């Protein structure tokens, strides 16, 4: 480093233009994907029930997200809502993380349960309630 | 960006030739569909996996050109439990 500073007067351009930055940029990009997936993993591991949704539980901004939030409310299941509209990296990241093209996405105990269609189907068949019950998630409705 | 129902059916059929596909245009606007797919290839797969197979057949259009495709799947020739 000291050598660089000492010689910078004689050839300042060479000091600035290095071949490394490109490689670093690429590394940064994959680090970003990594970081988002890490965040998602931590979120689903740190919360029993997580709903990645458009909008919030209070103010859903998409009919499909609203429907799943409503089902969870109906079952009296507390859940962590994650608004993907607040974060483009997260919105794309959760799709690649789950290999699922759409939002909402419901996770229970770290396991992907499904999107709006599957959650509705499971709810109507009583399977969602059974799953919540079997996983030992506290909820207010019974049977 | 609407997508024709026949195109949805064609893409699924291309991957799963024996699939029985029922598509309904929910809103009559060519943009909100419900599809029910019955296919023997779903045997032994979870519901999530079955949907992933269909999304894969749709080649990335789901969530893009196809915003609203309500999907239900069932295994063909399964001993009926319904």
Collapsed DSSP state (helix, strand, coil) of residue B10: helix
Residues of chain A in Cβ contact (below 8 Å) with chain B: 95, 99-102, 112-118, 121-122
pLDDT of residue B22: 95
Q: In the prediction, which pLDDT does A62 show?
A: 93
> Strands A105-108, A80-83: parallel, antiparallel or unpaired by DSSP?
unpaired
Given 3-state DSSP classes, what are the helix, strand and coil percentages for chain B, each rounded to the nearest 5? Answer: 30, 30, 40
pLDDT for the residue numbered A21: 45
pLDDT, one tens digit per residue, over B48-74 is 999 999 999 998 888 777 878 899 999
- Measuring CA to CA, how many Å separate B19 from each of B62, B69, B74? 18, 17, 10
**Closest Cβ–Cβ partner in B47, B52, B70 for A99:** B52
Find tokens 């030739």 and name the residue. Answer: B17
User: Best-predicted range by mean pLDDT among A122-131, B21-30, B72-81?
Assistant: A122-131
- pLDDT tens track for A13-70: 444 444 454 444 445 556 677 899 999 999 999 999 999 999 999 999 999 999 999 9
Question: What is the pLDDT confidence band of residue B1, given thresholds at 50, 70 and 90?
Answer: low
User: Which pLDDT score is estimated for A10?
Assistant: 46
Answering whether pTM is above 0.90, one says: no
Whether residue A115 contacts residue B51, with contact meaning beta carbons closer than 8 Å, is answered with yes
**Chain B nearest-CA residue for A91:** B63
3-state DSSP percent of chain A in helix, strand and coil, to 5: 55, 15, 30
Judged by CB atoms closer than 8 Å, whether chains meet at A112 and B48 is answered as yes
Would you say residue A12 has pLDDT above 50?
Answer: no
Average pLDDT of the residues in B7-31: 91
Q: Which pLDDT belongs to residue B68?
A: 81
Residues 6+ apart with CB under 8 A from A73: A57
Tell me the C-alpha to C-alpha distance, in Å, between residue B60 and each of A27, A33, B15, B73, B80: 26, 19, 14, 18, 32
CB contact under 8 A, B72 and A117: yes
Whole-number percent of chain B with pLDDT over 90: 61
Sign of CA dihedral B32, A126, A105, A118: negative
Q: By percentage, how much of chain B surpasses pLDDT 70?
A: 91
CA dihedral A65, A71, A77, A81 (to 10 degrees): 10
Residue A96 φ/ψ region, left for φ over 0, alpha for ψ in the -120 to 50 degree band, beta for the rest: alpha
- Tens of pLDDT, residue by residue over A77-104, are 999 999 999 999 999 999 999 999 999 9
Beta bridge partners of B32: B68
pLDDT score, position A4: 45
- Find where tokens 């295994």 sit: B75
Residue contact B71–A114, C-beta within 8 A: no
């Amino acid at each position: 480093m000291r050598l660089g500073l000492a010689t910078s007067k004689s050839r300042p351009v060479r000091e600035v233009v290095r071949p490394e930055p490109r490689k670093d940029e690429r590394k940064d990009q994959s680090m970003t994907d990594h970081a988002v997936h890490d965040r998602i993993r931590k979120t689903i591991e740190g919360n029993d029930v997580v709903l990645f949704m458009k909008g919030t539980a209070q103010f859903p901004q998409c009919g499909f997200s609203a429907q799943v939030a409503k089902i969870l409310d109906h079952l009296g299941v507390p859940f962590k809502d994650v608004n993907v509209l607040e974060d483009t990296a997260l919105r794309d990241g959760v799709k690649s993380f789950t290999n699922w093209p759409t939002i909402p996405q419901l996770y229970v105990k770290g396991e992907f349960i499904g999107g709006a269609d599957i959650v509705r189907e499971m709810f109507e068949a009583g399977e969602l309630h059974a799953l919540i019950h079997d996983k030992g998630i506290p909820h207010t409705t019974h049977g | 960006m609407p997508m024709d129902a026949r195109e949805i059916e064609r893409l699924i059929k291309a991957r799963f030739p024996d699939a029985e596909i029922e598509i309904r245009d929910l809103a009559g606007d060519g943009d909100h569909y419900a599809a029910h797919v019955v296919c023997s290839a779903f045997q032994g797969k979870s519901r999530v996996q079955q949907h992933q197979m269909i999304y894969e057949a749709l080649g990335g259009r789901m969530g893009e050109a196809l915003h609203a495709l309500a999907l239900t799947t069932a295994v063909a020739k399964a001993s009926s439990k319904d």
